[in-house]
Structure 1
Amino acid sequence: MRIKTIARHLTVAGLLLGGQATSVQAQDAKTIAGGFDVGPGGFPKNFNPLAATGGFTWLSTYFEPLVIYNAELTELEGDLAKDYKVSDDQLTYTFNLAQETWHDGKPFTSKDVKFTLELARNKASGSLFAARLGDIASVDAPDDRTVVVKLSKPNGSFLPILSQVMILPEHALAAMPPETLATSTWWSTTPVGTGPFKFKRYVSDQYVELAADDDYRGGKPKVDVLINRYFESPAAAVAALRAGEIQFTYVEPDDAVSFKGDSNFKVIEGASYVVNYIGLNQKVELFRDVRVRQAIMYAIDRNAIIESLYGGAAKPANCGYVAPHLLPQGLEPYAYDPAKAKALLAEAGWDKINGDKPITLLTYYGSPQAANVMAAIQSMLAEVGINVVPRVVDTPTYNGIVYKEGTPDWNAFAMVYAGLQNGPNPAGISPGLNKSQIPPAGFNTMRIEFDDLSAALDSALAQTDPAKIDQSWQQVCKVMNKDLPWATLWVANRYGVASNKLRDFVWTPAPAGGPYAAHPERWGIQ
């Protein structure tokens, strides 16, 4: 019944989409090529890790952070930091650095780490980490191999944040004024990192080519060249994969099914750790009444969408989390109830607030699956009297709209269909919800200023007692479920497909593409 319902909604909305394929020459035997920026974990054509909201699967092949999650996303381990220790009061972090050189031959030292952290904290640089690193009180480099970071207060998300801060070369960037870095061509022409591969060239809108760093501390890479291909759609990447032009790409669930049982490929499936939601801009009068936000939740048949469009490979989210240890008892399930949605809208005076005026539903998700999801949502909301019109843009355009300082056109993104990481560290959602993280400080693009929610987030971030941490994040979940800063939808699985010609290849469907310890230097191809 639900699958038939979804089909009806999609037919009404008329947005069932397909894809077109492209082709290029196959690479030689010592080259691995892939669509490493395809899909929701990618960020095509962004080369600046300070401004990245995704794409770390690729960026981490030539840049590296101090610490990194393991491939299972279960714990942090050292990367450019060989090891680290945290003081008992959770205020002092001491990092012992690995012995490494930059790709241009200059030595990597503690000065580079100090420079990077100070640059990342400077919002003039265009860094998206400025507010998230705001608890740093000082960064000291007592010797070339040691960095000491002191915080002004305990912050349980500090190390997970550092896992996405790629360390940058002081000698190459210090002379550039921070305000020029965001638009500098350095990132896409002559970047210098410490990873297993060195930047070689970028062919505009086509691909990026890296060359092996033979002196990498983790060992000489097994292949000579690593290539990241750009594609107009996941379908085009799938066509290139089947043609042997690339050896890996993210795929949509329907495509993943088509590869299962094919001995030439391996399907990789895992949790995305990303909660998809409808963001409701609190600078727009339309969504300030909680009854309107509740009506949106009741109007959407999430289970039907999950069954039909995700093949069951997703879990409904009634707050920012779906992990059992983060879910308290007594959450409102917001079961599909269009009659209740209509009643709530009537109580809130929706006819006077908006009526049938079209509302743009903005997204950066451009896949056929996302189009179908938005079409279903569009039709379901229309049935209760909310008229939304989907608008799909690329990620840079989306970011330009929602992060704009000053007085943005609020109506241009009154509603968004988006995603934000909800793990492996639960603090990952704080930048998207905390009132202290409104742009340009952080990711709170919906300008949510709910005091109870921010207080719950701050309390959880400051919790240092391991026995109480889960309970603290459960309180965040309770407040989200009650106040609905977002209309939370689901957490879905993600899929990648790799050619069986690859050896020791690691890909994890991590939020923002990671980073995680994939060890590209070990990847081989037969």
Structure 2
Amino acid sequence: MLVFSMTLAACGGGGEEPAPQDDATQEEETEEEAAEETAGEPQYGGDLIYGQTGNPQLFNPLYSQDTASGDIEDLIFAGLMRTDENLNVVPHLGEPVEVSEDGLEHIYRIYEGVKWHDGEEVTADDVVFTFSIPLHDDYDGPRKSYFESLESVEKIDDYTVKFVLNKPDAAWPITAGWALLPEHILGDVPVAELGEHEFNRNPVGAGPFKFDEWVEGQYVRLVAHEDYFEGRPYLDSITVKITGDSNAQVLQLQTGDIQMGAFSSEEFSTVETFDHVNISQILRYAYNYFGFNFRNEFFQDLRVRQAIAHALDRQAIIDATLDGHGEVAHGPVSPLSWAWTDDLTVYEYDPEKAKALLAEAGWEPGSDGVLEKDGKKFEIEILYNEENIARRNTAVIMQEQLAEVGIKATPKSLEWGAFLDTINPPNYDFDTIILGWALGTDPNPIAIFHSREIEKGLNNISYVNEELDRLMEEAEVTLDEEERKEKLHEIFKILSEDLPYVFLNYPMDNVAYPKNLHGFTHHPRVPFYKAHEWWLEQ
């Protein structure tokens, strides 16, 4: 999946807008830099155990859609391009060499000598194969919209390919970095069978680590790719251990059952006391939200969505569930994005205004205090994934806050895999959800909110806004950055006002790692960024 696409986040912490770090953090970073300077030459060897709360579903970047799978895919797979820690698109397995004047033809060169994990060379055949899959009529994965502008992909020679677009696409340099799949392994598999193919449980990629073993619900073990084109990783292996939930993750960090892992901001003060780990905290390229299922007639009335936004004290939620490490969000754009704007519609906490809006929409209190309309009580479920303690606590607080305005909300949790099955096509079986998006590099939210994404894409809330569809399509083909930024700002403004979600917060990304680990670069979106450079001081 990589950072190029949006993924559903199984875990997530709090959030705050970028600001100068306080003295304590600056001092800690200075000490870490000093430690790097005195660590000496990188050493080969060592096995790193990394904790992750969510269970991966499969390993195929064209079919997975969650961070639990996608984060591990970043170790296994690689594409022509990647994003650096500043979210710039830079060369990886290849590089762009020519773009036509009209922007419709893009030629890329693949570096020679790049090897798949089985020793075969990565060639133009693999690029053509990978990018042809989402163009096929039988492709039923969730990523089709990312390739809407791609007309064809052609092999020029063994190390050169040409992408032909059917329209200008500002995001194409990002999409061109999609992780490659091996043609020599999957080339004869019918596209209709790829989503369920055994490869997705025993993958072969060209990334820095090779898949070794997956014991479902327990761990995924990866070993160093000896022929990785940027050099053999220093670590012998990385084992991603499935910890189950946020509390277990922190406990296992404390006991040493895992050596490294992300943790929620609500646990920050606890993890700070662990003397065997360093902590790195940066703004994550993501947001958390409370989403409405528009198949439920309750939420088709904007006044109801506005009332709920006014009924939720989002700052109180941040304070109670994230230990205050957070900034209230009002729209779908990250402060880290080049397209950031604060010109968004703000729904302040105002329970009385919420009650007035609900009354205006025809909802009146029943004998038990729960609102009623046309013989129906305003009773809903708040669905969240059970691994995420912050979301559980958020659901409980929301239950209390919504009760104050007459809405009976019942929290309900599911294991991550069951949660995804429940909310996604073809089920859409929920009233509301607490969830988060780990954002893609391109800030256009077309993959989440366009109506074409309802049946097979990422618009699992079934939201339809024709004006928004048009604007997102226009932004997709606008190549001038300033003109595109204006269109994106209009899009963000509409979404902040129309409330398909109540946007909750911009999360912080907190990572604990062993004090003898060197080479770690904290990326705002990719946990295993440049993991081939990580090494353990023996």
The interval holding the TM-score normalised by the smaller chain is: 0.7 to 0.9
Matches within 5 A, 1:62-73: 62-73=76-87
Q: 1:84 to 1:387 in 2, by over 3 A?
A: farther
Deviation at 1:370, TM superposition (A): 1.3
Out of 159, 162, 168, the position equivalent to 2:181 is 168
Find the aligned partners of 1:235 and 1:331 in 2 and give their Cα distance. Answer: 35
1:266 aligns with 2:278: yes
Q: 1:193 to 1:331 in 2, by over 3 A?
A: closer
Aligned to 2:152: 138
Q: 1:384 to 1:31 in 2, by over 3 A?
A: same
Which deviations, in whole Å up to 9, do the C-alpha atoms of 1:383-421 show, x marking residues without a partner? 11122222222332222223223xx4x5x3121222224
1:334 aligns with 2:342: no
Matches within 5 A, 1:401-416: 401-405=422-426, 408=427, 412-416=429-433
Aligned to 2:36: none
Aligned to 2:435: 418
| SS of residue paired to 1:293 | helix
Out of 179, 187, 193, the position equivalent to 1:180 is 193
Find the aligned partners of 2:134 and 2:225 in 1 and give their Cα distance. Answer: 26
Matches within 5 A, 1:201-350: 201-260=213-272, 262-323=274-335, 326=339, 331-350=344-363
Which deviations, in whole Å up to 9, do the C-alpha atoms of 1:259-292 show, x marking residues without a partner? 3365421112122222222221222211111101
1:522 aligns with 2:533: yes
1:108 aligns with 2:122: yes
Deviation at 1:205, TM superposition (A): 2.6
Bigger shift: residues 350-359 or 170-179: 350-359
Unaligned stretches of 5+ residues in structure 2 = 1-43, 364-371
1:435 aligns with 2:451: yes
Q: CA RMSD in A?
A: 2.4
Aligned to 1:462: 477
Deviation at 1:316, TM superposition (A): 1.7
- Does the CA-based 8 Å contact 1:62-1:196 persist in structure 2? yes
| SS of residue paired to 1:32 | strand
Matches within 5 A, 1:20-169: 30-35=46-51, 37-38=52-53, 44-53=56-65, 54=67, 55-73=69-87, 75-99=88-112, 100-122=114-136, 124-163=138-177, 165-169=178-182
Q: 1:171 to 1:326 in 2, by over 3 A?
A: closer
Q: 1:354 to 1:183 in 2, by over 3 A?
A: farther
Return the TM-score normalized by structure 2.
0.84
Q: Percent identity?
A: 28
Tell me which amino acid in the other structure corresponds to 2:510.
Y
1:368 aligns with 2:389: yes
Return the TM-score normalized by structure 1.
0.86
- Does the CA-based 8 Å contact 1:505-1:520 persist in structure 2? yes
Deviation at 1:482, TM superposition (A): 2.4
Unaligned stretches of 5+ residues in structure 1 = 1-27
Out of 466, 483, 496, the position equivalent to 2:511 is 496
Which deviations, in whole Å up to 9, do the C-alpha atoms of 1:223-270 show, x marking residues without a partner? 222211111212222222222232211111132222336542111212
Find the aligned partners of 2:170 and 2:536 in 1 and give their Cα distance. Answer: 40
- Does the CA-based 8 Å contact 1:221-1:520 persist in structure 2? yes
Q: 1:347 to 1:184 in 2, by over 3 A?
A: same
Q: 1:327 to 1:112 in 2, by over 3 A?
A: closer
Aligned to 2:37: none
Deviation at 1:103, TM superposition (A): 1.3
Bigger shift: residues 125-134 or 102-111: 125-134
Q: 1:209 to 1:149 in 2, by over 3 A?
A: same
Aligned to 1:3: none
Tell me which amino acid in the other structure corresponds to 1:523.
W
Matches within 5 A, 1:478-497: 478-497=493-512
Aligned to 2:28: none
| SS of residue paired to 1:282 | coil
Bigger shift: residues 109-118 or 217-226: 217-226
Find the aligned partners of 1:205 and 1:331 in 2 and give their Cα distance. Answer: 41
Aligned to 1:5: none
Deviation at 1:184, TM superposition (A): 2.2
Find the aligned partners of 1:332 and 1:237 in 2 and give their Cα distance. Answer: 37
Deviation at 1:148, TM superposition (A): 1.1
Find the aligned partners of 2:193 and 2:375 in 1 and give their Cα distance. Answer: 42
1:506 aligns with 2:521: yes
Which deviations, in whole Å up to 9, do the C-alpha atoms of 1:165-202 show, x marking residues without a partner? 3211011112222222222222223x211112222222
- Does the CA-based 8 Å contact 2:471-2:487 persist in structure 1? yes
Q: 1:49 to 1:322 in 2, by over 3 A?
A: closer
Find the aligned partners of 2:487 and 2:347 in 1 and give their Cα distance. Answer: 23
| SS of residue paired to 1:132 | helix
Deviation at 1:77, TM superposition (A): 0.8
1:399 aligns with 2:420: yes
Find the aligned partners of 2:79 and 2:132 in 1 and give their Cα distance. Answer: 14
- Does the CA-based 8 Å contact 2:387-2:416 persist in structure 1? no
- Does the CA-based 8 Å contact 2:339-2:489 persist in structure 1? yes
- Does the CA-based 8 Å contact 1:112-1:170 persist in structure 2? yes
- Does the CA-based 8 Å contact 1:81-1:95 persist in structure 2? yes
Q: 1:326 to 1:314 in 2, by over 3 A?
A: farther
Q: 1:198 to 1:424 in 2, by over 3 A?
A: closer
- Does the CA-based 8 Å contact 1:501-1:525 persist in structure 2? yes
Deviation at 1:506, TM superposition (A): 3.1
- Does the CA-based 8 Å contact 1:327-1:477 persist in structure 2? no
Deviation at 1:352, TM superposition (A): 1.1
